[in-house]
Chain A
Amino acid sequence: MSIAKPSLTALASVAAALVTLSAVLIFVVAPEDADQGFSQKIFYVHVPIALTAYACFGLGAWKAYRVLATRGERYDLESYTGVHVGTIFGVLTLVTGAIWAKASWGVWWTWSSNQLVLFLVLFLFYCAYFMLRFSVEPGSRRERISAVYALFGVALIPVSFFAIRLANDFIHPTVFTRDGPQMTGEMFFAFCVSWASITLLAYVMYRVELAGKRIDANLRELREALQT
């Protein structure tokens, strides 16, 4: 039994509503942080963006696994799209993180922080995915090479994610501990809504990108068929 995918229009509408709601929750409902003040509001956009970037790279790797396991051509395009959207959110993670670091601690970047460097490594690894992909002729060889590469990158995700917990330096205070989130109920609710809205927005972007890439591929095939 297959589950019907919700329509893109409905998803985009829900994403827009959630983004609006999260903006209200962040700037009107959630209280100002006693320690960091107003600049702590960056937390509500930076952390969900980073988690979404991990999710997109993870999706790209999962689809890459499906390419290798089933040899299904459609998974190659899905894996590529997952990595593509993940890279967009990776750029956003690095930029919003740098702005937050400058606002709170007076530095844009520090090479001594393992988690920052590991996220940069993860981001650059997936940037290189595009160079690799477009250096190989389209076909099953490119699908396999891209899939293996995307799958290798997924190993960096838990390393980057847990580095934030393992490395106790000043840039990334651990907000989510075994005792639960270290914030008020309103703050946590605003964070959850923001996370849901950004994840849904990323999924809408994924679906739109995928549709565009599929149309592109179909048009290319059609052109070849018509010109022969």
Chain B
Amino acid sequence: MSSGEKYVAAAYGVFVVVVLVWVVILAAKLSRLERETGDLAGLARARPAAGDRVDV
């Protein structure tokens, strides 16, 4: 591989790596959102419905 080819590979490689890092960060964010949505669904299920009567 010539010196010019190495630099071209590096430039295009950096582009691909940055896009892949962005995808990884996004995947981590998606996992967090999924977990938070699950927590909120649990909270919503635990709350009494608006029409429910509370016995004293």
A binding-site residues for B, Cβ under 8 Å: 37-39, 41-42, 45-46, 49, 88, 91-92, 95-96, 99-100, 102-103, 201, 205, 208-209, 212, 215-216, 219, 222-223, 226-227
Contacts and interface: CB of A to CB of B under 8 A. Distances in A.
Interface string B10-37: 1110110011001000100110010011
B44 interface: yes
B15 A38 contact: no
A121 to B, nearest CB: 21
Contact of A42 (B3, B8, B22, B44): B8
B46 to A, nearest CB: 9
Given A88-B18, A91-B18, A103-B3, A227 B43 contact: yes
A100 B15 contact: no
A219 B2 contact: no
Contacts, number: 63
Given A212-B26, A219-B37, A223-B40, A103 B14 contact: no
B4 A102 contact: no
A226 B43 contact: yes
Band of interface residues on B:
20 to 34
A128 B10 CA distance: 28
A88 B14 CA distance: 12
B5 A38 contact: yes
Contact of A96 (B3, B5, B15, B26): B15
Contacts of A208: 26
B4 A92 contact: no
Given A38-B5, A42-B11, A96-B15, 5 more contacts: A46-B11, A102-B7, A103-B7, A212-B29, A216-B33
Nearest to B6: A103
Contacts of A88: 18, 22
A91 to B, nearest CB: 7
A103 B4 contact: yes
B54 to A, nearest CB: 17
